[in-house]
Copies of this chain bind each other. A is one copy, B any other.
Amino acid sequence: MALIQTFIALLGDSAVLRSKEDLAGHVTDWRGRYQGQAQCVVFPSTTAQVAEVVKLCHAAQVPVVAQGGNTSLCEGAIPRTDLPETVVINLGRMRQVRAVDPANNSMVVDAGCVLQTVQETARSHGRLYPVSLGAEGSCQIGGNIATNAGGTGVLRYGNTRENVLGLEVVLPDGRIWEGLYGLRKNNTGFDLKHLFIGSEGSLGIITGATLKLHPLPTARAMAWLAVESPQAAIDMLARFQSRCSASLSAFEMLNDVQLNIVLNHVADRRAPLSPSYPWHVLVELTDTCDEALLAAALEETLSAAAEEGMLLDAAIATNGKQQADWWEVRHSVSEGNKKAGIGINTDPAVPLSAIPAFISQATAAAHRIVPGAPIIIVAHLGDGNVHFIPQMQFAQWQALSPAEQDQLSRRVKQAVNEVACALAGTFSAEHGIGQVLTDEMALFKPAVELDLMHAIKRAIDPQQRFNPGRLLPPAP
């Protein structure tokens, strides 16, 4: 209790939540699957306050969990059940845009800025911050960075990692690393920002960041394709890459199962092409040139492919409304899947050349456990990232005990991930590890790689108190 009183003296009463009711939203993950415990949730307003809080926690030897918008899909931003002394540090009051430098194509922001605020601020300066994902209205940039968030802009602009120039980080002992560099080139020692990006709060608390901005695209063209197979989609991707280069901004693939779920379960969604085709692709080009040039490149590429018999069918969006509607179809997959049944979600990536093999082998592996289950597939194809989702009917699922559900889900996921890893892929492309995939870390990562990670963890957080039990499996 002494610690809480010190926090109140430091931050003010309203910045230290401690009642069960006040804590509730901060100790439960947003899918409502895990309920942790904490002695309090504090809301510092400045980097100095974060550092003070961390120093106090360090002295008191209590665990620390950093929290942004709490939108982790891996239960990575909430405290554990078995460590009730944990202090949660929520960055939500640190939401200033500190500076925008259009000439340098960069901006400096507090970690608690909501992603959408970052996007809008960039746009108001005629620039693009390109990371875009479903939770952008509530997720915070600090959390995006701590998890190296992916999303739909990766093909053209890279992951969050590729869009961060510098960081400000509070270390586990409360010292502040002032690394807010805004440079494209800086070869002065180990590039520490890359260690903190994607470290999920296990090495430090990101309190500020210098972000990379891009020219704002002014033109867009979009097509919806139907193809025979994943291989045909990959062949089309190669066509678009060699013809349209960097203006290719999205190449998203859905199978018929996924498309029909959206059409049947989400209101007002219409398919651009017949949903009886087996595989569908949304292609988008964006650039700063004349829109007619993009349209011409799109038409030329599609005509050539159609002549060679690479396409079953294709449609080109004729206006902005139609473009938006087609993106709505793509963005409705989560809603549709939730209504249609119980999806056993996975997030693997494989080299693009291995995608057809992955899909057929993973289907066989899943069907050995859940024979005949429909397989939902929605892929950021250009990134090799295939969300492969065996689907259970509600009745099937409810017939199982919670323990059986958990066990079945784990078995299916591990079977799918095993296929991905055997094809030189990964079991977590964009969602991260949190506490739900630490078993996979132990199973699939080379021992030397885990040893290196543990050595780094010990070097930077020797007391192992930052987000304990997350990201890394237990040390051997």
Could you list which residues of chain A lie within 8 angstroms of chain B, going by C-beta atoms?
Answer: 101-106, 126, 147-148, 150, 154-155, 159, 161-162, 171, 175-179, 181-192, 194-195, 197-199, 203, 214-217, 234, 238, 241-247, 287-289, 293, 297, 349-354, 380, 382-385, 424-433, 437, 440-441, 444-446, 448-453, 455-456, 458-460, 471-472
Contact B243 A183 (CB under 8 A): no
Write 17 A-B pairs (CB below 8 A) sorted by A numbering: A159-B185, A177-B448, A183-B384, A183-B425, A183-B426, A185-B383, A186-B426, A188-B427, A188-B428, A188-B445, A189-B472, A190-B453, A191-B194, A214-B245, A216-B242, A246-B246, A456-B456
Contact residues in B for A189 (Cβ distance below 8 Å): 198, 433, 441, 445, 449-450, 453, 471-472
Q: A34 to nearest B CB, angstroms?
A: 19
A185 pairs with B452, CB closer than 8 A: no
The answer to whether B191 and A161 have CB atoms under 8 Å apart is yes
**Known A185-B150, A246-B246, A289-B297; contact A177-B426, beta-carbon cutoff 8 A:** no
A288-B243, A448-B176 known; A191 vs B185 contact (CB < 8 Å): no
- For A449, give its contact among B177, B187, B215, B453 (CB under 8 Å): B177
5 new A-B contacts at CB < 8 Å, known A126-B242, A458-B459 = A171-B448, A183-B350, A189-B453, A195-B195, A244-B288
Chain B residues with CB below 8 A from A162, complex form: 162
- B429–A187 touching, CB < 8 Å: yes
Query: B182 to A351, Cβ gap below 8 A?
Result: yes
Q: How far is the CA of A126 from the CA of B289 in the complex (A)?
A: 25
Known: A177-B446, A288-B243, A459-B459. A353 touches B101 (CB 8 A): yes
B186, B433, B459: the one contacting A187 at CB < 8 Å is B433
Closest to A350 in B: B183
Name the B residues within 8 Å of A241 (CB-CB).
105, 215
From residue A363, how far is it (CB to closest CB) to chain B in Å?
Answer: 21
Q: Which 9 A-B pairs have the closest CB atoms?
A: A194-B194, A246-B246, A459-B459, A185-B429, A103-B353, A104-B351, A455-B459, A245-B288, A186-B426
Residue of A191, A293, A440 with most chain B CB atoms under a 10 A cut-off:
A191
CB distance from A105 to the nearest CB of B (A): 7
Contacts of A451 in B (CB 8 A): 175
- Please name all residues of chain B whose beta carbon is closer than 8 Å to the beta carbon of A382 when the two chains form the complex: 184
- Say whether, besides A106-B351, A194-B194, A352-B104, A215 and B187 are in contact (CB < 8 Å): no
* Docked pose: A459 CA to B195 CA in angstroms: 14
Alpha-carbon separation in the docked complex, A191 to B191 (Å): 11
Contact A429 B245 (CB under 8 A): no
A157 nearest CB neighbor, chain B only: B246
Q: Nearest B residue to A178 by beta-carbon distance?
A: B446
User: A198 and B191: CB pair below 8 A?
Assistant: yes
Let me know if A184 and B445 touch, CB within 8 A: no
With A103-B238, A194-B195, A245-B215 known to touch, is A187 a contact of B147 (CB < 8 Å)?
yes
Q: Cβ of A289: which chain B residues have Cβ within 8 Å of it?
A: 243-245, 293, 297
- How far is it, in angstroms, between the C-alpha of A71 and the C-alpha of B450 when the chains are bound? 34
The CA-CA distance from A460 to B184 in the complex, in Å, is: 27
Q: How far is the CA of A52 from the CA of B244 in the complex (A)?
A: 47
CB-contact partner of A192 in B103, B380, B449, under 8 A: B449
- Is the beta-carbon distance between B287 and A245 smaller than 8 angstroms? yes
- The residues of B that contact A244 with a CB separation of less than 8 Å are 288-289
Asked whether B185 lies within 8 Å of A349 as measured between CB atoms, the reply is: yes
Q: Taking the nearest CB of chain B, how far is it from the CB of A201, in angstroms?
A: 12
Q: Which chain B residues lie closer than 8 Å to A190 at the CB level?
A: 195, 198-199, 203, 452-453, 456
Chain B residues near A155 (CB-CB < 8 A): 184
